[in-house]
Chain A
């Protein structure tokens, strides 16, 4: 791209603007991270200088009233199982839909409906699921939550996996068929190893979505299966808002995502891009 001298100054200014924006993004996270180590009194006086304490974390994890640790466990169980299920189902389905003979109306219909469903507000479905799950005694159970999370994340999984599958050349399936592979063998021995990166990217994103979900967890869980986002919201709603614990909980709940960013930044960006640009 051409840089003439006249717009070089302008370029500098705009660049400065971007870095300011980055700061604006970073600052709130630093602020809440700081709040997590403050006593309530320091938060309420919003002092910049304070003695960091671990009391918020201690209360969050060890106090009898707090169920946070249990909630973390719930979040983990639900997010990991639903991610695994979504990735497996969507990988197999997109393989069949894209690479095997399937009536056109079926593949187009499934994809179109999945995409439309992805755009509809989850709360509309959550309200229906609530009554259906009540009848089936699935409210406040792991299976109910996992089922709901699988459903809500399946379209994204399908979309991502099918994008990654398209990158595997058709010849390879045909070579596998000639080499004597059944469909299942072709899938597990040829396709899966080749879309591993795509699966990791998909899994990372789906995990993040599932971990972050609030709408579903708020309405389909109670104490026993409550997830972290719900417990963070609970701190904010008590009569006297427990800002310290809310901050500490928030900080802990961001850990998986932070880890994924640090170790799998490549995959997340890949997934995000593949999921949104055609």
Chain B
């Protein structure tokens, strides 16, 4: 089966501190991967390497057939295909929700404004905040903001979506509305890599689970197996703490 993301032997350092150690990871189209692990284990760094918000020093990262390296001229083209949702939403506060969503399609994909806004409205409808389109991010609740951020990423019609703890900055009552949107997205066939500690969500949508610790992938297993029969002691310990 062809792979849409391939990481081979990836190593990364922040100065002398090694954050990623010999990471190997394959993702097939439409696969959903959930990454978990203790704080500081390198989960964010790993998925940020996939759209090159962080640079790796050793190994290969191949996204949709293009290898990411120093000399990758069209990194912007790859980023346009890889949507990212952040823990802190990172909406553009000076633009309305509609403009947040239509800006990149207009300026990066060069779509006509009208078409871009149509796409934006469709995606806002999909995450059920089309009634907030003309408001500014500061006027929305956390859950609404995160859904807007998901819609913004979807407007680029990405092949892959990366989520870095999308619900951990949210109040408990808003987590569900965001997870619902993500489940819906998963059912639609999107390729997703999600860093999260929402194990209910993981059990529902993930094909594979990845457990990371100290920069290494400690365990990678089918979801059912991962929860019912984890192999490594480290994973067992972690699961016992979190479940």
Q: Do A and B come from one complex?
A: no
B interface residues, Cβ below 8 angstroms from A: none
A interface residues, Cβ below 8 angstroms from B: none
